[in-house]
């Protein structure tokens, strides 16, 4: 068996690939480039390709299908970048990966702490040797009501870890309540969560239903000065509505690890480029907005999990086992 890895990072993934090649007896080829109509030829003779979130069109599906590829293995929890229906039409099976929720959960809490304590302003002004206190007064997270939207693995982990801060926690989950979460949080409907939360943190998947769930209408229902945290997917937030809310001071602070239009932006060195991304430029201009480049997942443990489960997924597919990582409609 053989996998073609695209967007492979040689500095942290390649050594692990060598390890798992021996462990699972699965060969691989790789490139550091995102998939495109030309480099997909690399998958000739491979059973599967592995991709991270990227542009992946129906044309690309046609190409890999013609090369005999049977499986698409996403090295990410999210898979909204893949044209699932068309992949199924062409007879390809698809999987994603899971990893321990602590990495993203703790990162979300870090963004909450940085936003409430105005860390961006403090650090920027310290660079200019401005050590005065005016404008730097924050609020204690323990005095806040925090609303968690989505209580899957990551959302529930955020709630458990936040419980140690003594904060009041509200939770909303479309798919029902869990007894574990109810030990630490009060389940409410989404409108109640918006209305009563000082901080709102998003932990839901990107799909048609959640697209732009944070919009003009939902922001208007929130507390004045609300803090919004997003470590899930950028498409959950209408960027124009977010920017409008920041400008009007309806939104007091924002912590984002994802933005709406990040394809082709993150994971590249653009230090000498003029970026054609108005959203990022405007958000970065605000002193009360923290934007990090989709790195909440990025720990040693997570990278190992993502790669090993990619290999495990191909093993399951090849044996026609019930694959726990397969994406099923």
**Which CATH number does 102-291 carry?**
3.40.50.720
Angle made by CA atoms 126, 117, 155, in degrees to the nearest 5: 130
Q: What are phi and psi of 28, to 5 degrees?
A: -150, 160
Phi, psi (degrees; rounded to nearest 5) at 92: -95, 145
- 3 state DSSP class of 199: strand
Catalytic residues: 233, 262, 294
Mean pLDDT (10-residue bins), the chain, 329 residues: 96 96 97 94 97 92 96 91 93 94 97 98 96 96 98 96 96 92 96 98 93 98 98 96 98 97 83 91 96 95 96 96 89
State residue 84's pLDDT score: 92
3-state secondary structure of 202: strand
**Residue 329's pLDDT is what?**
66
**Residue ranges of domains in the chain:** 2-99+299-318, 102-291
Question: What pLDDT score does 10 carry?
Answer: 93
Query: Does residue 168 sit in helix, strand or coil?
Result: strand
Q: Going edge to edge, which strands form the sheet with 289-291?
A: 186-187, 168-172, 145-149, 199-202, 226-230, 251-256, 289-291
> What does the alpha-carbon distance between residue 152 and residue 180 come to, in Å, rounded to a whole number?
11
pTM value is: 0.90
What is the structure's pLDDT at 267?
A: 81
Give the fold, CATH level 3, of 2-99+299-318: Rossmann fold (3.40.50)
- In the chain the first and final C-alpha atoms are separated, in Å, by 26
pLDDT value of residue 128: 95
């Amino acid at each position: 068996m053989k996998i073609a890895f695209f967007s492979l990072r040689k500095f942290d993934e390649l050594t692990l690939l060598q390890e798992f090649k021996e462990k699972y007896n699965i060969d691989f080829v790789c490139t550091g480039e995102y998939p495109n109509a030309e480099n997909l030829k690399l998958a000739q003779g491979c059973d599967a390709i592995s991709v991270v979130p990227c542009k992946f069109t129906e044309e690309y599906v046609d190409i890999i299908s013609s090369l005999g590829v049977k499986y698409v293995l996403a090295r990410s929890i999210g898979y909204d970048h893949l044209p699932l229906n068309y992949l199924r039409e062409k007879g390809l099976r698809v999987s994603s990966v899971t990893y321990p929720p602590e990495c993203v959960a703790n990162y979300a809490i870090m963004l909450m702490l940085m936003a409430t304590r105005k860390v961006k302003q403090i650090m920027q002004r310290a660079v200019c040797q401005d050590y005065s206190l005016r404008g730097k007064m924050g609020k204690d997270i323990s005095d806040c009501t925090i609303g968690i939207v989505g209580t899957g693995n990551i959302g529930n982990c955020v709630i458990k870890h936040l419980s140690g801060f003594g904060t009041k926690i509200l939770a909303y989950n479309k798919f029902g309540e869990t007894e574990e979460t109810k030990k630490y949080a009060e389940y409410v409907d989404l409108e109640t969560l918006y209305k009563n939360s000082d901080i709102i943190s998003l932990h839901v998947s990107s799909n048609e239903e959640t697209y732009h769930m944070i919009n003009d209408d939902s922001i208007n229902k929130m507390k004045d000065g609300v803090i919004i945290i997003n470590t899930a997917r950028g498409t959950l937030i209408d960027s124009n509505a977010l920017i409008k809310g920041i400008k009007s001071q309806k939104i007091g602070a924002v912590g984002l690890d994802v933005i709406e239009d990040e394809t082709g932006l993150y994971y590249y060195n653009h230090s000498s480029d003029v970026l054609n991304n108005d959203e990022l430029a405007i958000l970065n201009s605000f002193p009360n907005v923290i934007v990090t480049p989709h790195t909440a997942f990025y720990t040693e443990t997570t990278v190992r999990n993502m790669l090993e489960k990619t290999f495990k997924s191909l093993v399951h597919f090849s044996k026609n086992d019930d694959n726990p990582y397969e994406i099923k409609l």
